[in-house]
Amino acid sequence: MPTPSMEDYLERIYKLIEEKGYARVSDIAEALEVHPSSVTKMVQKLDKKDYLVYEKYRGLVLTAKGKKVGKRLVYRHELLEDFLKLIGVDKAYIYDDVEGIEHHLSWDAIDRIGDVVQFFQENDERIQLLKEIQRKNEADEIEEM
């Protein structure tokens, strides 16, 4: 399994390739807010682990393994964003919250969160019931103050 740092790079590389058709070291550095030299070192590590093929000055291409992992990492990130939106987390916190938790959950936990998201999305009444519970709890918290 890739390290959390490797995961961040693979996720970003996968997204860049999906969006632009390619991912250059400079694009990755800008997206992750790191120095190009850091990207080069990580890309070389990912090349050695067969997640991508990197040729200096020519760019990089994800291997089948890299594409599979990258796609799964993007899914995980988007699923966690959907989950946090669904349960009513303020949009201002969602990105940082996802970044903070995504590497600390097992794939089993991710799959169960996917089940919960699907459960709510399949029936709008369930979402409304959740919102009613949240409103009640917020009102109770205000009363206790």
Q: How many whole angstroms separate alpha carbon 74 and alpha carbon 12?
A: 8
- Could you tell me which of 64, 79, 24 has the C-alpha nearest to residue 12? 24
Ligand-binding site membership of 99 (annotated):
yes
Ligand-binding site membership of 35 (annotated):
no
Ligand-binding site membership of 124 (annotated):
no
CA atoms within 13 A on the CB side of 81: 11
Ligand-binding site membership of 50 (annotated):
no
Binding residues: 8, 11, 77, 99, 102-103
Binding residues for Mn(2+): 8, 11, 77, 99, 102-103
